[in-house]
Amino acid sequence: MRNIWTICRKELKSYFASPIAYLLLAMYATIFGFFFWNAVGYFVNISMQSTMMGRSFPMDVNEMIIRPLLMNTSVIGLFLIPLISMRLFAEEKRTGTIELLMTSPVRDMEVIMGKWLAALILYSCLLGISLLDMGFLFAYGKPDWRPMLVGYLGLLLQAGGLLAIGALISTTTRNQIIAGAVTFGVCLLLWVFEWVAGYETATWATVMGYMSVVRHYEPFSKGVMDSKDAVYFLSLIFLGIFLTSRSLESLRWRA
Amino acid sequence: MIRVENLTKRYDRNVAVNDISFEVGKGQIVGFLGPNGAGKTTTMRILTCFMPPTAGKASVAAFDVLEQPLEVKRRIGYLPETPPLYPEMEVHEYLTFVARLKGVPNAELRRRVAEVSERCAIADVSKKLISKLSKGYRQRVGLAQAILHNPDVLILDEPTAGLDPKQIHETRQLIRSLAGEHTIILSTHILPEVEQTCDHVIIISKGRIVAQDTVDNLTSRLRGQEAVLVTVGGAGADEIRGALQSVQGVSRVTLRDSRNGLHSFEVESSPGQNVRAPLARRVVENGWPLHELRSIAMSLEEVFLELTASEKGGEAEAKGERQ
Is A106 within 8 Å of chain B by CB?
A: yes
| B173 lies in the same domain as B86 | yes
Check CB contact under 8 Å for B103 and A105: yes
* Average pLDDT of the residues in A96-100: 93
Among chain A residues, CA nearest to B90:
A17
- In this structure, the dihedral spanned by the alpha carbons of residues A66, A67, A69 and A74, taken in order and rounded to 10 degrees, is 130
* Residue B307 scores a pLDDT above 70: no
Residues A191 and A213: their CA atoms lie apart, in Å, by 6
**Residues 6+ away with beta carbon under 8 Å from B6:** B19, B20, B21, B55, B56, B57
User: What dihedral angle (degrees, nearest 10) is formed by the CA atoms of B165, B167, B171, B176?
Assistant: 50
Residue B225 predicted with pLDDT over 60: no
A21 touching B (Cβ < 8 Å) = no
Alpha-carbon distance of B88 to A179, in angstroms, equals 21
The 10 Å CB-count burial string (b at 16+, else e) for A197-211 is beeeeeeebeebbeb
pLDDT band at B71 (very low <50, low <70, confident <90, very high): very high
Chain B positions in Cβ-Cβ contact with residue A103 (cut-off 8 Å): 48-50, 73, 76, 78
Name which of A32-46, A103-117, A232-246 the model is least confident about.
Answer: A32-46
- Residue A226 to residue B300: CA distance in whole angstroms: 74
Residue A223, pLDDT above cutoff 60: yes
CB contacts < 8 A, A to B, total 75
The pLDDT value recorded for residue B298 is 59
Contacts of B86 in chain A (CB under 8 A): 10, 14, 95, 97
Task: Give per-residue burial for B197-209: e unless 16+ CB within 10 Å, then b.
Answer: bbbbbbbbbbbbb
Of residues A3, A13, A99, nearest to B50 (C-beta):
A99
**From A126-135, B244-253, B280-289, the region with the lowest mean pLDDT:** B244-253
CA A43 vs CA A54, A58, A60, A73: distances in Å? 17, 12, 9, 18
Would you say residue B189 has pLDDT above 60? yes
Mutate to test the interface with B, among A98, A99, A103, A107 (most CBs of B within 10 A): A103
Same domain for B91 and B11: yes
Kindly determine whether residue A97 and residue B84, on different chains, have CB atoms separated by under 8 Å: yes
User: Is B322 contained in some domain?
Assistant: no
CA angle, residues B175, B176, B181, in degrees to nearest 5: 90
Residue A255 C-alpha, separation from nearest chain B C-alpha, in angstroms: 7
Can you give the pLDDT at residue A130? 92
B321 pLDDT exceeds 50?
no
Q: How far is A68 from chain B (nearest CA, A)?
A: 39
- pLDDT (average), residues A211-236: 91
User: Would you place residue B253 in the very low, low, confident or very high pLDDT band (cuts 50, 70, 90)?
Assistant: confident
Residues A142-179 pLDDT 10s:
888 899 999 999 999 999 999 999 999 999 999 999 99
Residues 6+ apart with CB under 8 A from B79: B142, B143, B145, B146, B154, B155, B156, B157, B159
Tell me: pLDDT of B320 over 50.
no
Average model confidence (pLDDT) for chain B? 84
Cβ contacts (< 8 Å) between B74 and chain A: which residues?
105
Give the domain extent around B273: 225-297
Looking up residue B141, the CATH number of its domain turns out to be: 3.40.50.300
Pairing, β B63-64 against β B55-60 = antiparallel
- Tell me if B86 and A10 make a contact (CB, 8 A cut-off): yes
B80/A2 CB distance under 8 A: no
B288 and B245 in one domain? yes
Q: Is the pLDDT of residue A141 over 60?
A: yes
Contact (CB<8Å) B49/A253: no
Cβ–Cβ under 8 Å, residues B184 and B178: yes
Q: Which of left, alpha, beta for B236 (phi over 0: left; psi -120 to 50: alpha)?
A: beta
A255 DSSP assignment: -
Choosing from B220, B240, B259, the residue where a domain stops is B220
pLDDT of residue B226: 65
Higher pLDDT, A8 or B262: A8
Q: Are A141 and A43 in contact (CB under 8 A)?
A: no
Residue of B274, B287, B288, B283 whose CA lies nearest to B228: B274
Helix axes A67-85, A145-170, angle to 10 degrees: 20
Q: What is the mean pLDDT of residues A125-143?
A: 89
Question: Is B78 touching A (CB cutoff 8 A)?
Answer: yes
Instruction: Point out the domain boundary residue: B220, B241, B273.
Output: B220
To probe the interface with B, which of A92, A104, A174 has the most B CB atoms within 10 Å? A104
Q: What is the pLDDT of residue B58?
A: 92
Calculate how close chain B gets to A55, using CA atoms only, in Å.
60
Q: Are residues B212 and B238 in the same domain?
A: no
The domain limits of chain A are 2-38+60-254
Measured in whole angstroms, the distance separating CA A35 from the mean position of its chain's CA atoms is: 17
Which percentage of chain B shows pLDDT scores above 90? 33
Is B255 a residue whose pLDDT tops 80? yes
Domain CATH for B285: 3.30.70.3190
What band does B316 get if pLDDT is binned at 50, 70 and 90?
very low
Q: Check CB contact under 8 Å for A7 and B98.
A: no
Mean pLDDT of B204-219: 81
Say if residues B12 and B31 touch (Cβ distance below 8 Å): no
Side chain identity, residue B107: A
Sort out which chain B residues have CB atoms less than 8 A from A94's CB and list them: none
Q: What is the pLDDT of residues A52-79, one digit of tens each?
A: 887 766 678 888 888 999 999 999 988 8
User: Has residue A40 got a pLDDT over 70?
Assistant: yes
What distance in Å separates the CA atoms of residue B91 and residue B272, rounded to the nearest whole number? 54
pLDDT for B165 equals 85
Together in a domain, B208 and B235: no
Q: What is the mean pLDDT of residues B25-31?
A: 89
Instruction: Judge: B98–A107 Cβ closer than 8 Å, yes or no.
Output: no
Q: What is the pLDDT of residue B271?
A: 66
Number of domains in chain B: 2
CA A79 – CA A184 distance, rounded (Å): 7
Q: Is the pLDDT score of B313 beyond 60?
A: no
Residue of B2, B158, B143 whose CA lies nearest to B78: B143
**Is the four-CA dihedral B235, B238, B239, B243 of positive or negative sign?**
positive
Same structural domain, B123 and B242: no
pLDDT score at B315 = 39
Whole-model pTM: value is 0.83
Instruction: Name residue B157's beta-bridge partners.
Output: B187
Distance from CA of B6 to the nearest CA of A (A): 18
Average pLDDT, rounded, for chain A: 90
* Chain B residue with the nearest C-alpha to that of A19: B88
Short-list B23, B144, B26, B22, CA closest to B95: B144
| pLDDT surpasses 50 at B311 | no
Residue B10 has pLDDT above 50, yes or no: yes
Encode burial over B148-168: b for 16+ CB neighbours within 10 A, e otherwise. bbebbbbbbbbbbeebeeebb
d(CA A165, CA A77): 14
Whether B239 has its CB under 8 Å from any CB of chain A: the answer is no
A3 touches chain B (CB under 8 A): yes
Backbone dihedral region of B90: left (phi > 0), alpha (psi from -120 to 50 degrees) or beta? beta
Tell me, what amino acid is at A155? L
Under the banding of pLDDT at 50, 70 and 90, the label for residue B223 is low
- Among candidates A95, A101, A255 on the partner chain, residue whose Cβ is nearest the Cβ of B51: A255
Average pLDDT in the B86-103 region? 94
Q: Please report the pLDDT score of residue B306 as a whole number.
A: 66
Instruction: Confirm whether B304 is domain-assigned.
Output: no
Q: Which of B50, B84, B89 sits opposite A13 (nearest CB)?
A: B89
Asked if pLDDT for residue B274 goes beyond 90, the answer is no
